[in-house]
Amino acid sequence: MAARLLLFIACLLVASCGGGSPPPASAQERPVEIKSSSQPFKIDEPDATRIGRLIWRGGIAITANSPHFGGWSDLHVAADGRSLTSISDEGAWLTAAIDYDSRGNLAGLSGGRIGQLHGLDGKLIESKAEADAEGMTRLADGSWLVSFERRHRLWRYETLTSTPAPVEGPAEIARQPANGGIEALTALPDGRVVAISEEYGQRPGTAMGWIGTPAAGGAYLWRSFDYTTLPDFRPTAIAQLPDGSFATLERAFDMVRGVRCRVMRFDAAQLAPDATVRAEELARLASPYAVDNLEGMAATKGARGETLLWLISDDNFNPPQRNILLLFELAP
């Protein structure tokens, strides 16, 4: 048992530094059969349904009949809650229908399709240095803005199967650590874009964020802000809630405590150029609660008008880890 635990921890450490990689993509788009198994909320307490301000609405571990299925780094859920889109840090994309049980809780995924993003030359991206997509958001015109790390950049895709157009990012984008770039990315109804770096900051205890205001020719005028962090925890996702406030996801990992994640919230009034955002903690996920390398987040409104938060994990193509999709309701 001790040997297995040490192996598991070692694999997590390797994954946190880059992880394994699937073989290069060979097809643009194809159906994928997704298998879902129920994910318990709290292993040692089957009747538990709440942590902090989050109410459990179901969770699944997901696998598929494709070597490219995994590494899911960000998440978009349609406003009606019927479908999702995700991207991977190996440059893949996934779409699927969302299935619910009789109580309206998450039950599974079906009708999956998987493909590979294109590069500026119109060819499928294959190398890890080019394919490391970490953030994704849908713009008002239906196109997708994707952030990449290692070679830090922003690309806009009209569709996930199209050739992208480069978008000039913030002035500091190239200063980010190779594996610590923009993971938190979201677009607002007024056309602005919000991005937060995972590891780059200019002041102790903060990560740098940017607000991009639309400019001529599809460009953005970028202004920075500071996002306050705790030691070890780094921002990996951001989503605007139905009430206009923001939720963020923060992740920490070490060999002793494993993966921990914080689900955070801050008011829209805090988001301004040169401001310092101080988010409040809604819940902290760590074993024995459902948790893995959570990197993607989406927010929707449920059938009763409740706010729903969706979280997805990146398994790093590492066998001891899992791709999990979790659904929570935000308590009033």
Q: Can you list the domains of the chain with their CATH numbers?
A: 2-330 (2.120.10)
Residue-level pLDDT at 5: 43
Residue-level pLDDT at 26: 53
How sure is the predictor about 23, in pLDDT bands with cuts at 50, 70 and 90? low
Three-state secondary structure string covering the chain: CHHHHHHHHHHHHHHHCCCCCCCCCCCCEEEECEEEEECCCECCCCCCCEECCEEEEEEEEEEECCCCCCCEEEEEECCCCCEEEEEECCCEEEEEEEEECCCCCEEEEEEEEEEECECCCCCECCCHHHHCEEEEEECCCCCEEEEECCCCEEEEECCCCCCCEEECCCCCHHHCCCCCCEEEEEECCCCCEEEEECCCCCCCCEEEEEEEEECHHHCEEEEEEEEECCCCCEEEEEEECCCCCEEEEEEEEECCCEEEEEEEEECHHHCCCCCEECCEEEEEECCCECCCCEEEEEEEECCCCCEEEEEEECCCCCCCCCCEEEEEEECC
Residue-level pLDDT at 19: 53
pLDDT tens by residue, 34-61: 999 999 999 999 999 999 999 999 999 9
How sure is the predictor about 73, in pLDDT bands with cuts at 50, 70 and 90? very high
Work out the mean pLDDT of the chain and round it to a whole number.
93
How sure is the predictor about 260, in pLDDT bands with cuts at 50, 70 and 90? very high
pLDDT tens by residue, 183-213: 999 999 999 999 999 999 999 999 999 999 9
